[in-house]
Structure 1
Amino acid sequence: MWDNHTDRAMKISVQGKQLDVGDALRERIETTVEQIAAKYFANPIDATVTLSREGSELQADINVHIGKGISVTSEGSSNDAHTAFDAAAERIDKQLRRYKRRLRDHHRGHNGEAVPAAQYVLAAEAEEGPEPEGGDGWEPVVVAEMETNIEMLTVGEAVMRMDLASAPALMFRNRAHGGLNMVYRRPDGNVGWVDPPSPSQS
């Protein structure tokens, strides 16, 4: 795997996994990503594009960091690297176009209210084998630990961020009352919203 960082105002990294990204494709990726980001934002921060081989197909993953706590991600797959990247780039462009006004309003109104929190990655439970002994059953094993921030957002802002990041769920502090909330993508395509009562209300 190799990566390339350009000297442009927007830092762009192109990475190849189990394949060699040629100079022509690398330049095309850098130019396209820069043009898409510049259409919507004056100062996008950085972007990473990863091309990888998934069986017989090639997959392109794009992540564009456009502001504090806001990233836009997309992916595309095809038997051709150019086509896979084009599909991912088209989705990024569509997402930014959809949220262009709201992102700019959000950026102007963002006051940095966030609470630091620990974030953990737990090992998946084995699909096969005997059921663990003990009343509590499976005890999760922490395989990674990192820091994150829980942002103060409106419900609409939380849904926007979840959608832009292609995330299955997002925890946030509800700007209306300061309590912890969560939005998540339901199997039917709609968005679920969890708003537990505060201790004083329960």
Structure 2
Amino acid sequence: MRYQISGKQIDVGQALQTHVENELNSIVEKYAERPTDAHVIFSKSASEFVCEATVHLSTGLTAQAKAHAHEIYAAFDDCSEKLEKQLRRYKRRLKDHHRDRAEPIELSQASAYILASESDGEESEPESLQPVIVAEMEHRIPSLSVGEAVMQMELAGAPVLVFRNEGKNGLNVVYRRDDGNIGWIDP
């Protein structure tokens, strides 16, 4: 497994890096079969240390956690407990489904395109009213069942997930509704 351990405006020493690698190894060995990489970022805000960790699995799932504490080791320990809890739930759900995926999840390439509006001789909006594009990214769209998509969305802590439905081979969306329930769009 590849590790990327860094700090935002703080120095991450060798002892902390070793502690992070050992702790993540023990967690991943228990709950995940084929991890690919882990990213851990330490930062300091006011009087607290913040630890953000992300673990990517070869099945396409991503587990993320974030924790705050007054000491940097305590922040990481809290963060690793959250990651362990997520991976434990993920493993339990896989056992409940009685379905092991032998091959990695198939990913499709997706690009975001911004199209210029057509001018029909009408007055266009002033520049100040047009939205500013902050980021444009390319993503891979996983082929998943609806249950796996909900699980991946919850593990990533994302409000929405676009996926290719394995059953119908069409693009679907799962999202967290305002009332806390999960919504599913199947066009």
Q: What TM-score, normalized to structure 1?
A: 0.75
Name which structure has the greater RCO, CA cutoff 8 Å, separation 6+: 2
Q: Which residue of 1 aligns with 2:6?
A: 15
Deviations 1:172-195 (A, max 9, x none): 122232222211123333222222
Deviations 1:51-92 (A, max 9, x none): 011232211011111115322111111222112111111111
Q: Among 102, 107, 118, which residue is 2:111 paired with?
A: 118
Q: Does the C-alpha gap of structure 1 residues 109 and 77 become closer, same or farther in structure 2, counting only changes over 3 Å?
A: same
Amino acid at match of 2:53: I
- Alpha carbons 1:120, 1:144 under 8 Å: kept: no
- Alpha carbons 2:58, 2:104 under 8 Å: kept: no
Q: Does the C-alpha gap of structure 1 residues 183 and 135 become closer, same or farther in structure 2, counting only changes over 3 Å?
A: farther
In structure 1, list runs of 5 or more residues that go unmatched.
1-9, 122-132, 197-202
- Alpha carbons 2:60, 2:104 under 8 Å: kept: no
Q: Which residue of 2 aligns with 1:187?
A: 178
- Alpha carbons 1:120, 1:146 under 8 Å: kept: no
Distance 2:113 2:70 in 1: 35
Q: Which residue of 1 aligns with 2:132?
A: 141
Question: Which consecutive aligned stretches of 4+ in structure 1 deviate over 6 angstroms post-superposition?
Answer: none
Distance 1:138 1:51 in 2: 38
Q: Does the C-alpha gap of structure 1 residues 120 and 187 become closer, same or farther in structure 2, counting only changes over 3 Å?
A: farther
Amino acid at match of 1:117: A
**Seq. identity, %:** 44
Amino acid at match of 2:159: P
Number of equivalent positions = 175
- Alpha carbons 1:70, 1:161 under 8 Å: kept: yes
Matched, 1:33 2:27: no
Amino acid at match of 1:166: G
In structure 2, list runs of 5 or more residues that go unmatched.
115-123
Q: What TM-score, normalized to structure 2?
A: 0.80
Q: Which residue of 1 aligns with 2:161?
A: 170
Distance 2:105 2:43 in 1: 38
Q: Which has the higher strand share?
A: 1
What secondary structure, in the 3-state scheme, does the structure 1 residue paired with 2:154 have? helix
- Alpha carbons 2:50, 2:66 under 8 Å: kept: yes
Q: Say which is worse superposed, 28-37 or 140-149, in terms of deviation.
A: 140-149
What secondary structure, in the 3-state scheme, does the structure 1 residue paired with 2:82 have? helix
Deviations 1:112-160 (A, max 9, x none): 2x33111479xxxxxxxxxxx8399842333433321222211101011
Q: Among 55, 61, 67, which residue is 2:58 paired with?
A: 67
Amino acid at match of 1:183: V
Distance 1:34 1:119 in 2: 36
What secondary structure, in the 3-state scheme, does the structure 2 residue paired with 1:181 have? strand
Q: Which residue of 2 aligns with 1:200?
A: none
